């Protein structure tokens, strides 16, 4: 094999000293070991899958070509220059650009991700959306799309500056990562716009995730004290019931997102008229029809004071329920419950079709079904043979949330057609 040519006064990069050392070292190896090394070395350098024999052959050509170019030009020529020239002439390199493998991986990552949030970018969103939609059509699976954007985000930039706005965007991205499954994909598709692709997810599962994200973001943003109703609004669509084409699913999800935002503006305007702007994000999703959201709205029932544990309040914040003006606790009492006690205008989440239950000690531990829940309290289903005290403790087990121990006060009793009793309870601090 031709030996290396080391011209004096070299102005080549330091890495060429490594290549000179490599050439010397390879001379001392037997053909088999040299071929195996060169196969892996050229693979790492050029991404070409050459056989051991071809790797040996082309390495010899590269070393000899480098020597000839150096003599012809009268100045040092790098190994990479000779390598690109030889492999391009042999039609191995269609685009003769050479870089280290780690640099290539960084370029690939940068081309696919948003630098601020680390989420996939819009280009990859369009690519993945088409791929997952084709897969869903082929195997007749569901595919859910959730589009999200930050409500009042422009006000954050205007009032607090763009660095704080960047902080909010990163917080939103982290919320998406923490809330979704490992099989889901998260993207930043615009300034304050995000999207999630949920393979094999139906409308109920997508709605559950949307509520979870809404609540998680509300909890994460609260310590920053922006004094703005900042929230992560969302809209969703599901293949196949909402459409079979990506543009249709995007349009449907966008329409539902903007219904939610419109309801938010209406709620904020009503709050301002009442002289009480909200101090934390409140639900502002207009209640969709069952076909829009994948579930029907729950009933509005009696409740108690605005004194709910944080986890329960977060669950209610997450609910896609009818938008109402956001009011402070002192103004939340407006209607009369059975028996003449007051109840409040508040969103109530129906849990009648879930496995939600409360464990209560009535001399012995009893499990009572949870009918619905709100900011202020819960409604339980009670057998007529059981007696609840005026105040009691319960452990609530509600889907999505961890088990939570609460103090409850009995507010009213209401007979049900099933022969059981509906017990309205308020949370007690």
Average the pLDDT over each of 23-27, 236-240, 386-390 and give the range with the smallest value: 23-27
Classify burial at 397, counting beta carbons within 10 Å of its beta carbon; exposed 0-12, middle 13-18, buried 19 or more: middle
Question: Residue 2's pLDDT is what?
Answer: 46
Select, from the ranges 197-201, 269-273, 284-288, 304-308, the one with the highest average predicted confidence (pLDDT): 197-201
With 50 as the cut, is the pLDDT of residue 329 above it? no
- From CA 351, how far away is CA 336, in angstroms rounded? 23
CB count within 10 Å of CB 242 equals: 19
Classify burial at 111, counting beta carbons within 10 Å of its beta carbon; exposed 0-12, middle 13-18, buried 19 or more: exposed
- From CA 385, how far away is CA 420, in angstroms rounded? 9
Q: Provide the mean pLDDT of the chain.
A: 76
Q: In which band, very low, low, confident or very high, does the pLDDT at 268 lie, cut at 50, 70 and 90?
A: low
pLDDT in tens, 76-115: 888 888 888 888 888 877 654 555 556 556 666 667 889 8
* 301-328 average pLDDT score: 34
Give CA angle at 182 (283, 214), nearest 5°.
5
Q: Comparing 71 with 47, which gets the higher pLDDT?
A: 71
Work out whether the CA dihedral 119, 122, 124, 128 comes out positive or negative.
positive
Q: Which residues contact 299 (CB under 8 A, 6 or more apart)?
A: 348, 350, 372
Select, from the ranges 293-307, 342-356, 387-401, the one with the highest average predicted confidence (pLDDT): 387-401
Question: Residue 300's pLDDT is what?
Answer: 28
CB 129 within 8 A of CB 146: no
* 337-344 average pLDDT score: 38
Burial 203-216 (b: 16+ CB within 10 A, else e): bebbbbbbbbbbbb
Helix (H) / strand (E) element for 334: namely strand 333-336
CB 365 within 8 A of CB 324: no
CB 57 within 8 A of CB 86: no
Q: Comparing 120 with 4, which gets the higher pLDDT?
A: 120
pLDDT in tens, 110-135: 678 898 999 999 989 999 999 999 99
Select, from the ranges 232-241, 352-361, 387-396, the one with the highest average predicted confidence (pLDDT): 232-241
Question: Residue 412's pLDDT is what?
Answer: 87
CB 402 within 8 A of CB 390: no
Give the sheet arrangement for strand 231-239, strand by strand: 185-188, 193-199, 143-151, 231-239
* DSSP reduced 3-state for 287: coil
Q: Comparing 123 with 276, which gets the higher pLDDT?
A: 123
Asked whether the bond before 240 is cis by omega within 30 degrees of 0, the reply is yes
Please report the domains of the chain, with CATH numbers, ordered by start residue.
15-98 (no CATH), 112-281 (3.30.70.270), 310-428 (2.40.10.220)
Instruction: Kindly provide the residue ranges of all beta strands, DSSP E only, lying in 69-110, ordered along the sequence.
Output: none
Q: Which of 191, 281, 194 lies closest to 236 in space, CA to CA?
A: 194
* DSSP reduced 3-state for 200: coil
With 80 as the cut, is the pLDDT of residue 429 above it? no
pLDDT in tens, 155-208: 999 999 999 999 999 999 999 999 998 889 999 999 999 999 999 999 999 999
Q: Comparing 313 with 417, which gets the higher pLDDT?
A: 417
In the chain, what percentage of residues exceed pLDDT 70?
A: 72
């Amino acid at each position: 094999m031709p030996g290396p040519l080391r011209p004096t006064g070299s102005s080549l990069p330091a890495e060429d000293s490594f290549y000179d050392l490599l050439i010397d070292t390879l001379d001392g190896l037997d053909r088999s070991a040299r071929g195996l090394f060169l196969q892996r070395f050229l693979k790492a350098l050029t991404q070409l899958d050459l056989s051991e024999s071809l790797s040996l052959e082309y390495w010899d050509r590269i070393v000899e070509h480098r020597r000839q170019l150096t003599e012809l030009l009268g100045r040092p020529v790098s190994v990479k220059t000779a390598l690109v020239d030889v492999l391009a002439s042999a039609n191995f390199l269609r685009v003769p650009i050479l870089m280290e493998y780690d640099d290539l991986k960084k370029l690939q990552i940068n081309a696919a991700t948003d630098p601020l949030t680390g989420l996939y970018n819009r280009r990859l969103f369009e690519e993945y959306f088409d791929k997952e939609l084709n897969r869903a059509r082929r195997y007749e699976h569901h595919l859910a799309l959730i589009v999200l954007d930050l409500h009042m985000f422009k006000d954050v930039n205007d009032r607090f500056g763009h660095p704080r706005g960047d902080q909010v965007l990163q917080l939103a991205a982290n919320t998406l990562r923490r809330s979704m499954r490992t099989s889901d994909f998260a993207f930043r598709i615009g300034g304050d716009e995000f999207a999630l692709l949920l393979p094999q997810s139906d409308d109920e599962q997508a709605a559950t995730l949307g509520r979870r994200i809404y609540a998680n973001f509300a909890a994460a943003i609260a310590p920053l004290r922006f004094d703005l109703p900042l929230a992560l609004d969302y809209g969703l669509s599901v293949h196949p019931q909402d459409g079979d084409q990506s543009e249709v699913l995007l349009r449907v999800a966008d329409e539902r997102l903007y219904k939610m935002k419109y309801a938010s503006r209406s709620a904020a305007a009503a709050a301002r008229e009442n002289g009480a702007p909200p101090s934390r994000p409140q639900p502002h999703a207009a209640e969709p029809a069952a076909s829009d959201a994948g579930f029907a709205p729950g009933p509005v029932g009696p409740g108690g004071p605005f004194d709910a544990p944080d986890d329960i309040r977060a669950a209610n914040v997450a609910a896609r329920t009818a938008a109402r003006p956001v009011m402070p606790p002192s103004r939340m009492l407006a209607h009369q419950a059975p028996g003449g006690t007051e109840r409040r205008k508040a969103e109530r989440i129906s849990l009648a079709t879930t496995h939600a239950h409360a464990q209560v000690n009535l001399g012995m531990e009893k499990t009572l079904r949870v009918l619905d829940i709100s900011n202020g309290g819960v409604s339980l289903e009670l057998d007529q043979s059981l007696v609840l005290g005026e105040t009691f403790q319960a452990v609530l087990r509600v889907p999505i949330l961890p088990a939570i121990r609460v103090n409850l006060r009995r507010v009213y009793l209401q007979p049900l057609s099933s022969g059981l009793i509906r017990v309205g309870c308020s949370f007690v601090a």
